Amino acid sequence: MMPFIQLRKKIRLAASKNKKLLTALLSVFCMVFLFGCHGAKTSSSFEMPEAFDETKPVEITFWAKNDTNKNQTDVYKKAIADFEKMYPNIHVNLKLYTDYGKIYNDIITNIATGTTPNVAITYPDHIASYLQGANTVVAMDELMDDPAYGLGGSELKFDGPKKEEIVSAFLNEGVIQDQQYALPFMRSTEALYINKTLVEKLGYEVPDVPTWEWIWEVSEAATKKNPDGTYALNNQKVLIPFIYKSTDNMLITMLKQQDAGYSTDEGEIEIFNDTTSADLEEIASHAKSGAFSTFKISGYPANFLNASQTLFAVDSTAGATWMGANAPLSDISEGAKTDFETVVRPVPQVDVENIEMISQGPSIALFSKDNPQEVLASWLFAQYLLSNEVQLGYAKTEGYLPVTDKALESSEYQEYLSLSGTDNNEHYSVKIDAAKLLMDHLDDTFVTPVFNGSASLRNAAGELVESVVKSTRRKETIDESYLQDLYSKVDTLYRLDQLSQASGSEKPLGKMPASSIWLLSILAIVWIGIIIVFIRQKLQQKKAQS
């Protein structure tokens, strides 16, 4: 890099010859300096237009997850086609993902380049991270309450839900730092899918609400082997009695049921506690006996369930179409499938009189753009995703629950539920049982605090369980020393000690460092000197000419 003194001499020489060049250089310097201090350009805060302009074409992008389910893809495509008929000037571009994590990563990347989608199906935990960029996500409070274009507004061209027609518990999940940054799209919980045939073969009856104690007892009983090494229960070489897909939810739910620490609403980390240690040691003991494993270590729970290679598979109610002997989306070969009775129960509980089940499921976020009409068009489409046509169409594809009372109480949905078991596709009994499970336990669900970094904390919870199971399989001893070391590693890996204590808008940067003030002062003096020299030279030239 050219030394600063040489650069100053060149600027002075050029400035003495060309006043316009000096002005340009000053402008460039100011722009470079300002951008260097404040970062890339961000979208301005959204202001509600007086009306939606239907005379000008608007193009919006919609990112969503379909989990390789063609039925879901068809619902999205139909929703877009129907919406574009009502609003011919709006064109919706659909981009499908198979993983919410990929949507999250792409949005984080695109925030830096100003190329975020207009509408995305995502999670509140992820939205809290998006909010760290200024004006990246649109707060929906003003939009929701607008009498013309808000929820149930007078100018809507479709029968959308009013605010009071959205299940309040689901709507509240999208409130971050006292503002509505997400609308619920679909909701699910976790379910315990049980091979009732194998459980009864062991001599047990399936309770209405299984406890952890019961699950561990039955799982241990199922590990008995024949002399030839096969398992006595299924006469196969493979049997993992209990498999949990989402180990972050596993630990979070266990801690909630025991009224133990996870995090505060402000983002204070509480997960590294004695209850967590006791739970991890319990999990390790059953992993050691072969009674327990996880999705990441052993594979998809549904595949083991459908082959009668597990008794208990915990997965989302949204995954019900993969679970059971007659599952329409089963991934295993026909020869590997077995015939058994599947029942759906709440996840294992500590206290059957005080059921705790996690509430989860995708939400809708809107992203800021410079054109208010573009944001309003995105809002109209987001609302249409809450209409009965879309809600019921999507809910029928899997074990999801619609998020509006309007859809839940509709005659169409009630008829859908009543036809459970009449076929193994739209009315697959396990799928409908999973949806009913959440309906019956809406008041028993909980959500975790949302703040910048809450997604990292969730990942850390899963890492604790996965690490303990892996270490147990490697014959390592899981004791207090091991756990303290694990806590330290996970704390560092997920930067839990660096998490923001609140989500929402960007934090103030605080006072400028003294060194920066000193440098800026020197630069200001130098430029003032250059300008003085330039003016002096001009005055001398005028005197010489007079």
Which pLDDT score is estimated for 6? 46
Label the pairing between strands 119-122 and 175-176.
unpaired
| In the predicted structure, residue 142 carries a pLDDT above the cut 80 | yes
Q: What is the helix (H) or strand (E) element at residue 128, kind and residue range?
A: helix 124-130
How far is CA 466 from each of CA 174, 305, 472, 488, 543, rounded to the nearest angstrom?
A: 29, 20, 10, 15, 83
- DSSP codes of every residue in 450-488: --TTHHHHHHHHHHHHHHHHHHHHTT---SHHHHHHHHH
pLDDT band at 330 (very low <50, low <70, confident <90, very high): very high
| In the predicted structure, residue 399 carries a pLDDT above the cut 70 | yes
**Residue 46 to residue 367: CA distance in whole angstroms:** 10
* Burial readout 438-471 (b: 16 or more C-beta within 10 A, e: otherwise): beebbeebeebbbbbbbbbbbebbbbbbbbbbeb
| In the predicted structure, residue 389 carries a pLDDT above the cut 70 | yes
**How many other C-beta atoms are found inside a 10 Å radius of the C-beta of residue 351?**
12
Which pLDDT score is estimated for 506? 40
Mean pLDDT, to the nearest integer, of 13-27? 46
pLDDT digits (tens, 9 = 90+) for 463-505: 999 999 999 999 999 999 999 999 999 999 999 988 744 433 3
pLDDT digits (tens, 9 = 90+) for 26-59: 444 444 343 344 333 444 478 899 999 999 999 9
Label the pairing between strands 342-346 and 190-195.
antiparallel
Which pLDDT score is estimated for 515? 52
Give which of 181, 386, 119, 348 is closest to 250, Cα–Cα.
348
Which pLDDT score is estimated for 133? 75
The answer to whether residues 284 and 312 touch, using CB atoms and an 8 Å cutoff, is no
Residue for token digits 């400035």? 15
Instruction: Compute φ and ψ for 337, nearest 5 degrees.
Output: -70, 150
Mean pLDDT, to the nearest integer, of 315-329? 96
Mean pLDDT of the chain: 89
* Composition of the chain by helix, strand, coil, percent to 5: 50, 15, 40
pLDDT digits (tens, 9 = 90+) for 224-273: 999 999 999 999 999 999 999 999 999 999 999 999 999 999 999 999 99
pLDDT band at 540 (very low <50, low <70, confident <90, very high): confident
Which pLDDT score is estimated for 516? 52
Instruction: Compute φ and ψ for 287, nearest 5 degrees.
Output: -70, -35
